[in-house]
Chain A
Amino acid sequence: MTVAHVDPALDARQARFHALVLPHLDRLLGFAKRRTNATGDAEDAVQDACLRAWSAFAELRDESRVRSWLFRILRTVLSDAFEKEGRRRQLVSITRLEDAHEALVGSDADFVFTEVVARIDREVLRKALSDLPDDFATAVELHDIDGFKYHEIADITEVPIGTVMSRISRGRRLLAGAIVLNRAAWPLGVGDAAQSAVLKSTGNRTRK
């Protein structure tokens, strides 16, 4: 590590950093919040990521890729934090989620599921996402919430694009399974008869 001397270009560097990085704070914070259990931890992670980005700002050659560059840094910060603190989520059994998904797509009530998902509230969705293994949830969120393309997610998560494709596919399946398993939180007003059809078709296979 070397400490560079402050030079006259520092102000310009800071201005460029602010212009490129600060507009993405909202998205970075949203991603960090979904990966941590507390808003304070998420804000700390974003701040740490910004500081690392500042330290490595010279590495950013292509400004059009700043968003994925920042997410990659934030993901590293979050990984470090999780490993350091030994935090592990209490995951629902993947087999249970897969079984629930199998039952869902094997039933005749897919139109009900579409309606349920469209109306499900934020907290239920957050809980369902938290039931997924982090790699799957990260890939799904980066695409569906943060709007990254598959090749960008491959860059952020440092895996081949085929792995991204697989993670998003499997992640959405598991998420569907988690939503089915969390049926007690489904919004009221979904057609009762149709909802019953889904419950009937998934109930026996998912209750263990």
Chain B
Amino acid sequence: MRGDPTAHPHSLDATIDEATREERHQRLAMMLAAYADQELPAETVSQIDAHLLGCTRCRRELLSHRAIAQRLETEPLSRAPAALLARVTTTIAAAPIVQMPADRSRAEHHTVPFSGRYVRALATLSAIALVTVFAWTIRAPSTTPIPSIISTVPLPSVALFSAVLADYRRVTALDLPGRARDLAAVRAALPFSVQPLSSEQLSLLAAWTTVLDGEPAAVLAYRWNDQLLLHYVVSEQLLFRPSEVRRAFAAGHPMAVTDGAQTVLTWPSRESGEFLVGEATAAELVRFRRSPAPH
């Protein structure tokens, strides 16, 4: 028996049998936390008030609930470090708007795997890369001549180049890479082939999607020595839309535009179009170009 019926011999508890009293005690005892938290309706509160008068054990348990709740309430708040705030804001800024349920199923999660630890490592690498890019901008400009095989045009003449360069500048002005996703997820999201560049000098840091000229594109970020290069892959329909590009490719040339220290190099691949952008000369970038698509 849990109660103390001798304290109130005329109470209701004293008139019912032991089993019923124990059942009632257990039921009300389970509500003591909610009673302490003021989460019960008034009628139930009155029942517990009455029960507490005759139940020493429940009075002790109520004290225990209140003591624990009061202690936990004083737990100091964890402060999110500035670096975490920066990571979140940067990744949100660079993330494509992908509509999916926030509590998506495990199966969907495996379809688009995402590792926070991976992003953190990338962010660190990116920070290193961007610092180096900054150093690159203050050094003397390269005097390497552009090979004659490359067709060069002024930047404003081709809107697609401007869009690529603007996206490159937007991304590199922030912490790279925004929402990191693995290459398989990027490939699954796009209707054309996405192949990373293969060069011992390049290491793939991240892949994600973006929008260029109103159409989806893949972005692959590479570390090249201590620099960052962004590789955009677009549909062949988008690449061949500008007449200047078609003319250059028809002549068998890759094509490049330069704006300040930055260069955009483009070439067609088997089922898509590719751009490579970085703080480098066209001659430096062209070495990473994939072999021309067979005619």
Query: What is the interface of chain A, defined by CB distance below 8 A to chain B?
Result: 1-6, 10, 13-14, 17-18, 22, 25-30, 33, 40-41, 43-48, 50-56, 58-59, 69, 72-73, 76, 80, 83, 101, 104-107, 110-111, 113-114, 117-118, 120, 122, 125, 140-141, 143-145, 147, 149-150, 165-166, 168-170, 172-173, 175-176
Contact = CB atoms under 8 A, between A and B. Distances in A.
Nearest to A116: B67
Given A17-B92, A59-B102, A48 B116 contact: yes
Given A1-B112, A1-B189, A80-B106, A165 B64 contact: no
Nearest to B65: A172
B288 interface: no
Given A3-B209, A52-B102, A106 B57 contact: yes
A101 B96 CA distance: 51
A25 B80 contact: yes
Given A56-B99, A106-B57, A114-B63, A165 B75 contact: no
Nearest to A149: B39
Given A14-B93, A143-B37, A50 B88 contact: yes
Contacts of A3: 96-98, 189-190, 209, 211, 216
Interface of B: 30-34, 37, 39, 57, 60-61, 63-73, 75-81, 84-85, 87-89, 91-93, 95-104, 106, 109, 111-112, 114-117, 119-120, 179, 188-190, 209, 211, 214, 216
Nearest to A111: B63
B106 A165 contact: no
The interface centre, meaning the residue of B73, B75, B91, B106 with most chain A CB atoms within 10 A of its CB, is B75
11 contacts: A4-B97, A41-B117, A47-B91, A72-B103, A101-B64, A117-B68, A117-B71, A125-B71, A144-B72, A150-B34, A150-B37
Given A25-B88, A169-B31, A54 B95 contact: yes
Nearest to A114: B67
Nearest to B32: A169
Nearest to A54: B92
Nearest to A101: B64
B265 to A, nearest CB: 24
A176 B63 CA distance: 11
B183 to A, nearest CB: 16
A144 B96 contact: no
